C-alpha cells in the first residue's frame, strides 16, 4: 500500500474509532442525562402512550387514566376525590413532571421498573401493551375523610399513625388542590398551574402534614415530661416539682415566663402541670435538664433528622442548640422549636406504643399488573425514646388531660383517650392568630390503633377563641372514631 492510501486508511480508522467511542459515551455515560433532559419529549410521550398503574387505598383505586385527543399524549392522569388525596398521591403531569408517590414510584406505575421485566416480556410475547404496576397504600379511607372534612375551610393539617406498626392512616392538608387540573398539556392546565404555584396565595400545593413545620406549643411538653422521667429529674408524675410562681427565665433580668390564666402551677406535680398546661413547670424542667439533654431527648423522637421518608420526605423538625433562656422557652414548644404534624404524631405514637417508635410509612406494597406482590413493607422499629414504664406514666398524664384538663373535647364514650392541647404563638410579638394543636391516641384492649396530630394554622375563629381544645381536638376525635370503627 502506497503512503497516501495508508494515511487515508489510518485517518478513516481514527474516524471510525472516534465514532465508536462517541456512540458508547452517549449510550452508556450520557444515557440517563439525555433521557431526563427537560427538552426530551420522547420519554414523556412514551410515558403517556399507555395508562399508568394506580394508587390503591382500602382496595379501591383513587387514580385512573383517560384517553385524550392529543397527538402526542394518548392518556392523561385522573384522580378520584383529588383534593382529599393530593397530600398522599402528589401529581403526575404531562408538562410539570410529578410529585409525591406519583413521582417516587413512577417506575412501578409506568411499568419501567426492572422488577417488572418478566411481566414486560410476557406482554411482549402475547402482544399485549405494556402495563404499569400498582402502589398499595396504608391509608384508611374513613380516617382520611374525617380529617379532610374536619379541617374544612381552615388552613391546617392532620397526620394519623398506627402506633403499633408505623402505618400512616391519614394525611390531610388544607387548602388543597385537584391534581387532575394540571395533569394535561392544554391551556387550562397551564392557567391552573400558575394559580397553584407554591409562591402564591395560601399555597394549596404545600403538603402541610409532612412538609410544613410550626412551633408545637404545649404539645411539646410531652417531650419535656419524657426527658424529665428518662433523666431522673423526677421519678414520679405525682411528685411536687420545684417550680416557683412566678418563674423567671434563667440569665435574664427577671423576665417572667407566664402561664395562661390563674392556674395551680406552683410546685405542681407533672400530672397536674400537664392537665393545666403549666408553662412555668415545663419551662423550668427544660432549664434544669439543660439544652444538650433536651436536644438529645428530642432527637430520640425524630427531631433534627432531615431524612424522614414516608416515602415522601418530611420537613426536618428542629430542637436547636440554644442559650439557657431560649432553651427554657423551647421546652414549652416555643422559641426556635418547630415540628411537622407528622413529627408530633410520631411523639404521640411512641408514648401510646409503650415507648417504641415505629418508622412511619404509607406504601404497604408494590404489585405487578398481574397482582403479584414485588415488594412488601415490613414494620420497622425506629427508636426507643422512653422506657415502657415511663411511657405508661405519660399515658396516665395524657388520659388525665382528656378526662379532667384542657383536652375534654377529645373524649370518646367508652374509649380510653389520651391527649394534649397546644396553642403556639405566631408572628412578631405574637400579633398573628396563634396555631391551635391537639395530639391524641385512642386505646383498646388490643393496644392503641391510632395516634393523631392536628394543627389549625388559621381559621375564621376570633383570636380569643383559638385553642387546641376548641379547634383541633374535634378533628382529631373524628379521625380516631373513624379508625376505631374500621378496627372492629
- Residue numbers annotated as active site: 218
Q: Which residues have a Cβ under 8 Å from the Cβ of 280 and sit 6 or more positions away?
A: 243, 244, 245, 246, 247, 257, 259, 265, 266
Q: Are strands 55-57 and 134-137 parallel, antiparallel or unpaired?
A: parallel
Residue 342 near residue 328 (C-beta atoms within 8 A) = no
Separation of CA 188 from chain center: 30
Instruction: Say how many CA atoms lie within 13 Å of 381 toward its Cβ.
Output: 7
Closest CA to 398 of 212, 224, 274, 299: 274
Residue 162 near residue 450 (C-beta atoms within 8 A) = yes
- For 27, other C-beta atoms within 10 Å of its C-beta total 10
Q: Distance between CA 172 and CA 430 in Å, rounded?
A: 27
Q: What nine digits make up the cell of 88?
A: 398522599
> If DSSP codes are grouped into helix, strand and coil, which group holds residue 352?
helix
Q: Distance between CA 83 and CA 172 in Å, rounded?
A: 9
Residue 210 near residue 104 (C-beta atoms within 8 A) = no
- For 3, other C-beta atoms within 10 Å of its C-beta total 7
Q: Distance between CA 50 and CA 481 in Å, rounded?
A: 40
Helix residue ranges, H only, 101-186: 101-104, 106-110, 117-126, 141-151
Amino acid at each position: 500500500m502506497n503512503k497516501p492510501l495508508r494515511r487515508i486508511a489510518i485517518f478513516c480508522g481514527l474516524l471510525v474509532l472516534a465514532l465508536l467511542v462517541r456512540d458508547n459515551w452517549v449510550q452508556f455515560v450520557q444515557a440517563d442525562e439525555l433521557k431526563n433532559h427537560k427538552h426530551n419529549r420522547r420519554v414523556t410521550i412514551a410515558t403517556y402512550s399507555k395508562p399508568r398503574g394506580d394508587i390503591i387505598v382500602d382496595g379501591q383505586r383513587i387514580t385512573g387514566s383517560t384517553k385524550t385527543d392529543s397527538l402526542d399524549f394518548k392518556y392523561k392522569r385522573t384522580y378520584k376525590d383529588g383534593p382529599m388525596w393530593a397530600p398522599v398521591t402528589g401529581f403526575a403531569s404531562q408538562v410539570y413532571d410529578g410529585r409525591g408517590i406519583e413521582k417516587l414510584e413512577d417506575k412501578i406505575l409506568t411499568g419501567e421498573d426492572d422488577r417488572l421485566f418478566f411481566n414486560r416480556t410476557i406482554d411482549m410475547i402475547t402482544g399485549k401493551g405494556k402495563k404499569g404496576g400498582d402502589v398499595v397504600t396504608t391509608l384508611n379511607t374513613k380516617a382520611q375523610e374525617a380529617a379532610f372534612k374536619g379541617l374544612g375551610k381552615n388552613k391546617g393539617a392532620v397526620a394519623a399513625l398506627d402506633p403499633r406498626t408505623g402505618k400512616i392512616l391519614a394525611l390531610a392538608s388544607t387548602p388543597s388542590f385537584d391534581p387532575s387540573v394540571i395533569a394535561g398539556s392544554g391551556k387550562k392546565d397551564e392557567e391552573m398551574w400558575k394559580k397553584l404555584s407554591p409562591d402564591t396565595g395560601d399555597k394549596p400545593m404545600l403538603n402541610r402534614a409532612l412538609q410544613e413545620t410550626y412551633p408545637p406549643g404545649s404539645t411539646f411538653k410531652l417531650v419535656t415530661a419524657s426527658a424529665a422521667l428518662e433523666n431522673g429529674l423526677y421519678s414520679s408524675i405525682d411528685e411536687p416539682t420545684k417550680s416557683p410562681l412566678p418563674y423567671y427565665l434563667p440569665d435574664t433580668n427577671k423576665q417572667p415566663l407566664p402561664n395562661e390564666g390563674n392556674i395551680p402551677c406552683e410546685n405542681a406535680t407533672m400530672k397536674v402541670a400537664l392537665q393545666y398546661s403549666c408553662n412555668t413547670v415545663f419551662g423550668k424542667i427544660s432549664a434544669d435538664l439543660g439544652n444538650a439533654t433536651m436536644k438529645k431527648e428530642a432527637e430520640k423522637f425524630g427531631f433534627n433528622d432531615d431524612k424522614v421518608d414516608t416515602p415522601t420526605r418530611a420537613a426536618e423538625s428542629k430542637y436547636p442548640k440554644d442559650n439557657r433562656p431560649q432553651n427554657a422557652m423551647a421546652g414549652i414548644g416555643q422559641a426556635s422549636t418547630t415540628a411537622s404534624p407528622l413529627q408530633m404524631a410520631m411523639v404521640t405514637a411512641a408514648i401510646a406504643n409503650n415507648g417504641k417508635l415505629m418508622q412511619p410509612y404509607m406504601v404497604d406494597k408494590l404489585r405487578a399488573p398481574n397482582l403479584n406482590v414485588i415488594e412488601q413493607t415490613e414494620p420497622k422499629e425506629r427508636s426507643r425514646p422512653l422506657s415502657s414504664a415511663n411511657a405508661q406514666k405519660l399515658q396516665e398524664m395524657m388520659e388525665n388531660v382528656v378526662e379532667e384538663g384542657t383536652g375534654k373535647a377529645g373524649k370518646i364514650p367508652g374509649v380510653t383517650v389520651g391527649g394534649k392541647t397546644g396553642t403556639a404563638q405566631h408572628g412578631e410579638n405574637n400579633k398573628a392568630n396563634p396555631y391551635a394543636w391537639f395530639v391524641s391516641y385512642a386505646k383498646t384492649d388490643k393496644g392503641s390503633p391510632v395516634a393523631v396530630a392536628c394543627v389549625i394554622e388559621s381559621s375564621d375563629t376570633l383570636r380569643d377563641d383559638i385553642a387546641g381544645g376548641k379547634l383541633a381536638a374535634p378533628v382529631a376525635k373524628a379521625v380516631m372514631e373513624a379508625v376505631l370503627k374500621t378496627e372492629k
